[in-house]
Amino acid sequence: MKFDEAKQILEKYNQEHILKSYKRLNEEYKEKLINQILRIDFEQILNLYEKTKVPVEFKNSKIEPIPAIDSAKLSDEEREKYTKLGEEILKSGKHAAVTMAGGQGTRLGHNGPKGTFDLGLPSHKSLFEILCDGLKKTWDKYGAIIPWYIMTSRENNDEATRKFFEENNYFGYPKENIMFFKQGELPMIGDDGKIILDESGLIKEAADGHGGVFESIYKNGALEDMKKRGIEWVFIGGVDNVLVKMADPIFIGFVADNNYKVASKTIVKGYPEEKVGVFCKKDDKPYVIEYTEISEEMANKKNTEGELVYSEAHMLLNMFNIEILEEIANEKLPYHSAYKKASYMDDDGKIINPETPNAYKFETFLFDAFGLVQDVGLYRGKREEDFSPVKNASGVDSPETARRDYIKYHNL
Ligand code: UTP
């Protein structure tokens, strides 16, 4: 019954090859494959394959910079006012943190969830433990236990993440305040428009990008949990920045005092070619223009003081008001495609490990949510205090640079 239904769906969408491996599967996997076919929205995924390969067009758009408040230039009164307000928010239990840890970490090449990576500090702390240390400091200082929500993905091994926390006794943080939730996934499609299979013969699905955080905090009950706890402000960040402050009083106070629904702590771009996305307004809406999209002219444009006009880099250090989070979760973000190397099972059941990219992965980006609000408050932080990520195995943004910056910042 279910098999026939699945077969019909595949015929309709020209994807019959998916069932070629069916005979080779055991009963459990047969069932899994059929359930996948019945669950997947083929109309949507094939539409994405057709439509997302075109680059974003800026020719006819109005592009303007968004000014940021420079934290280094705040007056003593402002500094005090924001810090006090932020501390009150923390102490009254209205702040939560979300860590997006569902990425593949392909550039780093670590075997396992990226948060479990030991960057070689004398303490051998993992990225997860480094992040948790920040929350423990807030707990020590203000008596505030910040609820911590961790986004994982199936492909990146949700189970391994949970196990790692358990084995490490949740790094001494009260475990009822750490919640894990899985992000969504979408099938991957090969060059020929055919969905590919994974090594076990099931449809190969990949995490749907960091923009998936909004839908998944909603669908998995994390947002509901925050509301129950009386949370008003939510920090959402990545897993790989060793200097991240998930509960920074002055930034929280800045956001709350200015009534921003969404705000971002930026870092000023180091040089015009730096591979970071920068904030701008595109047709009057906040937008992050990726380094792959920005024109040379725009990247190099300077103001009369000789500073880059488009220099406020988005580093995934964002704050959201809980109400806007719910609204964003109910909106559809645009999808982007990325052409990736993906191992797969061919029609004869052979596992292929390609040397070059061979399949499309579909993702939404967190920063596309900024266009849903009129204003994003920008607060310029400091690179040496706020941002040092582990992205690559060596060179820039690597364990070596993160180690150096972490040791310097913490005076070790
Ligand atoms: P990146 O885009 O830097 O990706 O993610 P990555 O997985 O760390 O590394 P590469 O590009 O594969 O080498 C920025 C943050 O967003 C999270 C990542 O875990 C990281 O914290 N992320 C990304 C997700 O949680 N889910 C995704 O689908 C993508």
The predicted-structure confidence for 311-348, as pLDDT tens digits, reads as follows 999 999 999 999 999 999 999 999 999 999 999 999 99
CA of 100 to the centre of ligand 1 (A): 8
150 φ, ψ to 5°? -120, 120
CA distance 240 to 170: 18
Residue with the nearest Cα to atom 23 of ligand 1?
103
Atom of ligand 1 nearest to the CA of 209: 28
- The first and second tokens of residue 362, run together, are 């579909």
> What are the C-alpha distances in Å from 197 to residues 15, 221, 231, 346?
11, 30, 41, 7
Q: Are 148 and 234 in contact (CB under 8 A)?
A: no
CA of 240 to the centre of ligand 1 (A): 9
CA of 328 to the centre of ligand 1 (A): 20
CB atoms near residue 291 (< 10 Å): 15
Beta bridge partners of 64: 281
CA of 38 to the centre of ligand 1 (A): 28
CA of 210 to the centre of ligand 1 (A): 7
pLDDT digits (tens, 9 = 90+) for 351-401: 999 999 999 999 999 999 999 999 999 999 999 999 999 999 999 999 999
CA of 102 to the centre of ligand 1 (A): 6
The owner of tokens 């596992």 is 351
Atom of ligand 1 nearest to the CA of 152: 25
Q: Are 159 and 112 in contact (CB under 8 A)?
A: no
Is residue 335 left, alpha or beta, with left meaning phi > 0 and alpha meaning psi from -120 to 50?
beta
Mean pLDDT over all residues of the chain?
96
Asked whether the CA dihedral 122, 123, 129, 135 is positive or negative, the reply is negative
The predicted model gives 237-246 an average pLDDT of 98
CA distance 125 to 314: 26
What residues line ligand 1, using a CB cutoff of 6 Å? 100-107, 114, 151, 153, 183, 207, 209-210, 212, 238-240, 316, 391
Between 127-142 and 76-91, two packed helices, what is the crossing angle to 10 degrees? Answer: 100
Atom of ligand 1 nearest to the CA of 237: 21
User: Given this model, what pLDDT does residue 195 score?
Assistant: 98
Q: Are 242 and 402 in contact (CB under 8 A)?
A: yes
Residue with the nearest Cα to atom 6 of ligand 1?
105
User: Given this model, what pLDDT does residue 156 score?
Assistant: 67
Atom of ligand 1 nearest to the CA of 366: 16
pTM value is 0.95
Atom of ligand 1 nearest to the CA of 392: 13
User: Given this model, what pLDDT does residue 154 score?
Assistant: 87
Residue in 363, 338, 359 with CA at minimum distance from that of residue 183: 363
